[in-house]
Structure 1
Amino acid sequence: MFGRGSSDMGIDLGTCNTLIYIRGKGIVINEPSVVAVERGTKKVMAVGVDAKRMLFKTPGNIIAIRPLQDGVIADLESTEKMIRYFISKVMPRYRFIKPRMVIGVPSCITEVERRAVEESAYKAGAREVTVIEESLAAAIGANIPIFEPAGHMVCDIGGGTTEISVISLGGMVVTSAIRLGGDKFDDAIVRHVRSIHNLIIGNGVSERLKIEIGNAFPEKEIEKVEIKGTDAITGLPRRLEIDSVEVREALKDPITKIVDEIKATLGKTPPELAADIVEWGIVMTGGGSLLKGLPKLIQKETGVPVILADEPLNCVALGAGKYFEYAKGFDNSRSIYDSLNG
């Protein structure tokens, strides 16, 4: 019954968004990782898109929270409720048949945090849970030939973390992860606008700036956007026009840290695999990789070609969902690795 009726489910449990892939159906959920609960009773009022609309705008009796911070579970109970809600939304007729789940997580999380992910998935109704590193899932989702005896580098920039890995023979030879991603981009813009213009803006406004005129590499055309916020001195509402040059300056610090981490990972890569990376390039995945000019900047700073994956936002969920199809390849690659190392 399980073989015929259950669904293999790949989950990208992201800090900003949760994506769910079901074999044969594709991406069925792509919603914000936000839960709105009633204060005191903890009764769930809304999840996903509806809950995000309530973020920072709720009355006193309702709390809108993001249960994941920096790529890991900060609120286990809310995470479980969120996953359970999304599963019931996409599999209402199969609620009595438990699915197998593969969940992508950052490699920098602790064993305790890893167990928290597994526990929340089991409590949400999973029959079997497999947890894999995000960069490995992203590589599968980006259709990288990971079982070849050649080096492939993946840089996955999510909402809470950035993970850079060199993959060969189905395993990660070198990996590095930092708790810095798209959220830190937003925070950097908020700090800059307050510091330079004495204007207080929310993360929703900074996210809009990042998406509309955010950039990592100088461009000929300077774009401008009008924003609204609260004057830090008078406390009154105020408008401000800001341009793409200023937003690039605001993003300079977090972007530099990501570029430095990529350089450090390349420095740890064995020469034979480094040669492959120079030939095949660095594959960029995750929402943060969509920042305008970022691939161009990384290519300039490293001297290595940089390729943006076809579906950067979906790669981790796609790869997690296809994991069971690749399972035999992982077993074979481990056998080869073991024989090569005695």
Structure 2
Amino acid sequence: MVFNEEVGIDLGTANVLIYVDGKGIVLEEPSVVAVNKDTKEILAVGSEAKRMIGRTPGNIAAVRPLREGVISDYDITEKMLQYFIKKTCGGNRFFKPRLVVCVPSGVTEVEKRAVKEAALQAGGRAVYLIEEPVAAAIGAGIDITAPEGIMIIDIGGGTTDIAVISMGGIVTSSSVKIAGDKFDDYIIKYMRKKYNLFIGERMAEKLKREIGMAFSQEESLTTLCKGRDLVTGLPRTVEVRSEEILEALEEPLDVICEATHGVLEKTPPELAADVGERGIVITGGGAHLRGLDRRIEERTGIKTVVADDADFCVVRGTGESLKFIDVISRNSLNRRETYI
């Protein structure tokens, strides 16, 4: 339990991560809440709630209150944030930390207000927002204040944010609702279509992590996939190859590559030249998909690398962004409203 005035929150579709100034990353929990549908009582939050997905009786629902990078259930999101802030910062009701929360680029005014109000109600003294690509760049150790362009592709659970950043702000960007969760959905559809096998989210994620790839490679990986046979209704196990997962993910990967190309087309020529020289950096959990850097490099012709510790770039950058408070406070996300 820590007490500090400055806290960074990566409010992700798949996971919530919290960074406390001077302590580093102090919490990483799934963005899942178990709710009694009859009484609306919160039964579990985070890892304990995730274990209940697909295994609960009819009156209990394990829900994700964030979908595609934004709040889909305000009340549950507020309670989830309260739980996580209390867990990391203590239960002192007089202690109200200053919060920086990251959001997808292109967030609407309604979505922006929902995030700020939920964070305030959860115990924040003041709330600032920062775009995920900017936070990811800071967390990857890039100097965002330099007058040079750098391209960031942040692939989270709900959205992929692509942006060219210069002098602390986003010059051109695109946010597509294709990311880790959609990858899982496409794998589930593929297994249903090819094998008549119905699998759950957890098995789809296992396939993605163990043998998933975005670019054809010489080495073929295999793993066992367990599910329910749609013909017999009985449990069945099949062996799946990495080439099959590549086939399943072709469509969503093409969307990300096209969005990247589109951002480059809109980038001013001087900054585009900087990107060509400095390269593209991929962050987020989706960055670990084998061969993704090679696929984007082949599509754009620009050197592409995966950031070190890619999973934690956004939350680390969110916390460290308080060093650039003058920059982010002038950002359009924070310009119109001040919370004291």
Q: With structure 2 as the length reference, what TM-score do the two structures score?
A: 0.94
Partner of 2:299: 301
Shift of 1:96: 2.3
> What whole-Å deviation, never above 9, does each CA across 1:264-293 have from its counterpart, x for those lacking one?
111111111111111110011111111111
The structure-2 alpha-carbon separation of the partners of 1:261 and 1:333, relative to structure 1 and needing over 3 Å to count, comes to: closer
Distance 2:327 2:197 in 1: 54
Distance 1:279 1:40 in 2: 58
Amino acid of the residue matched to residue 314 of structure 1? F
Residue pair 1:147, 1:333 contacting (<8 A) in 2 also: no
Distance 1:250 1:129 in 2: 40
Partner of 2:336: none
Report matched runs for 1:34-183 at 5 Å: 34-92=32-90, 94-183=92-181
Shift of 1:108: 2.9
> What whole-Å deviation, never above 9, does each CA across 1:290-319 have from its counterpart, x for those lacking one?
111101111111110112111211111111
Partner of 2:245: 247
Report the more deviating stretch, 59-68 or 45-54. 59-68
Count of residue pairs brought into register by the alignment: 330
Partner of 2:213: 215
Distance 2:91 2:248 in 1: 48
> What whole-Å deviation, never above 9, does each CA across 1:111-142 have from its counterpart, x for those lacking one?
11111111111110100011111111111111
Give 3-state SS (helix, strand or coil) of 1:55's partner: coil
Shift of 1:325: 0.8
Residue pair 1:158, 1:182 contacting (<8 A) in 2 also: yes
Partner of 1:185: 183
Partner of 1:198: 196
The structure-2 alpha-carbon separation of the partners of 1:49 and 1:332, relative to structure 1 and needing over 3 Å to count, comes to: closer
Residue pair 2:222, 2:242 contacting (<8 A) in 1 also: yes
Shift of 1:333: 10
The structure-2 alpha-carbon separation of the partners of 1:67 and 1:330, relative to structure 1 and needing over 3 Å to count, comes to: closer
Distance 2:39 2:101 in 1: 29
Give 3-state SS (helix, strand or coil) of 1:57's partner: coil
Match of 1:256 among 254, 257, 277: 254
Give 3-state SS (helix, strand or coil) of 1:322's partner: helix
Partner of 1:225: 223
Shift of 1:60: 2.2
Give 3-state SS (helix, strand or coil) of 1:140's partner: helix
Q: With structure 1 as the length reference, what TM-score do the two structures score?
A: 0.93
Distance 1:207 1:333 in 2: 36
Residue pair 2:4, 2:20 contacting (<8 A) in 1 also: no
Residue pair 2:10, 2:102 contacting (<8 A) in 1 also: yes
Residue pair 1:153, 1:167 contacting (<8 A) in 2 also: yes
Gaps of 5+ in 2: 333-340
> What whole-Å deviation, never above 9, does each CA across 1:27-50 have from its counterpart, x for those lacking one?
011110000112222111111000
The percent of aligned pairs where both chains have the same amino acid is: 52
Partner of 2:235: 237
Gaps of 5+ in 1: 335-342
The structure-2 alpha-carbon separation of the partners of 1:332 and 1:64, relative to structure 1 and needing over 3 Å to count, comes to: closer
Partner of 2:280: 282
Residue pair 2:128, 2:329 contacting (<8 A) in 1 also: no
Give 3-state SS (helix, strand or coil) of 2:310's partner: coil
